[in-house]
Amino acid sequence: MQMYDWQEVAVGETDDIRTALSVLDSASLQIVLVVSEEQALLGTVTDGDVRRALLRGESLDSPVVKAMNPTPVTGTSNDSETAWRKILFEHSLRHLPILDQWRRIKGLYYGKQSIQACENPVVLMLGGMGMRLRPLTETVPKPMLKVGDKPILETIVSHIAEQGFTEFYFCINYLGEQIRAYFGHGERWGIRIYYIEENERLGTAGALSLLPSKPDKPFIVMNGDLLTKIDLRSLLNFHQDHQNEVTACVREYSQQVPYGVMELEEGTVSQIVEKPVYRYFVNAGIYALSPTALSLVPDASFYDMTTLMDDLLDDQRRVGGFPLTEYWMDIGQMPDFEQAQVDYDVHFTKLHQASWKN
């Protein structure tokens, strides 16, 4: 019987969404149980539930009940394991809370599923010079700097390969020969790596014009200096469900004004808001693209992803935002690099039982 200690993934109804995200990441089971003081199941939370809540306007400080699914599929403690497996199969689930007749939680059943290969290509932008990390990047390209016991890029590649992606394109420029020498054609990770060499810097999207052939299905574009545990299959499903041409991953960013804000209407104070917190979504450097978006990318010219999205919007074509709820760190400056060293042991070295349920 494959049962987990449900208390490891439980939060209370008074906890906030941020707490649920912390449990999602630390337990690595991709489910959180919201329980009452009597240990009755009130609902469940997945990363998809959190994304939908953020898109509705909730924040990470909102109560977890604002994000939870109040009517999850469950099993009963009187049923057999065979019955639980049947429920998992019928509903395409990975986890099943097991309840008694009073809806008190007795366990969390887990059914293993094999990970299918994913044919969508992954393009990694690796040509930056890493100027803000000098002197570390004077002789080593930023993606090859070690965080933990391995290069940043190896952690990125390993995490993506674990999700079933096998076709990678490495866009290299500055000290790119070190990347090629280390990764070769990708056999060690069970993938195939193709190299695109930029003779000059082409920005975060310009190298897409150098792809040997136009992809025939949506593909991933990602900066090569990000440590993240993003579920790229969920990103692709979101992208296709919303029929976007580009979907950009976004992170919630909050900023508190340290003063009382005076709201004026024609010189008259209409409201005073004391030290308000403003919430934004910021670009996380990970994208899903449809092949049609490539029609706007100029040949071998400097061109950024933000410019591509602006051009698509000007052309009234669909651009979406996918809230990123998993761990994410942009290693752009020295404090980020130092923080990543601390985070690595927490997020990337423990036994990871991931679910790629979409």
Cα(106)–Cα(98) distance, integer angstroms: 6
Cis geometry, peptide bond prior to residue 63 (ω within 30 degrees of 0): no
Dihedral sign from CA coordinates of 188, 189, 192, 194: negative
Could you count the other beta carbons within 10 Å of the beta carbon of residue 214? 11
Q: What tokens does 169 get?
A: 């394109």
Q: Which residues are catalytic?
A: 275
Cα(344)–Cα(199) distance, integer angstroms: 33
Rg for the chain (alpha carbons), in Å? 22
Cα(178)–Cα(162) distance, integer angstroms: 24
Which among 116, 27, 59 has a CA at the least distance from the CA of 254? 59
Spatial contact of 88 and 96, defined as CB atoms under 8 Å apart = yes
Could you count the other beta carbons within 10 Å of the beta carbon of residue 272? 9
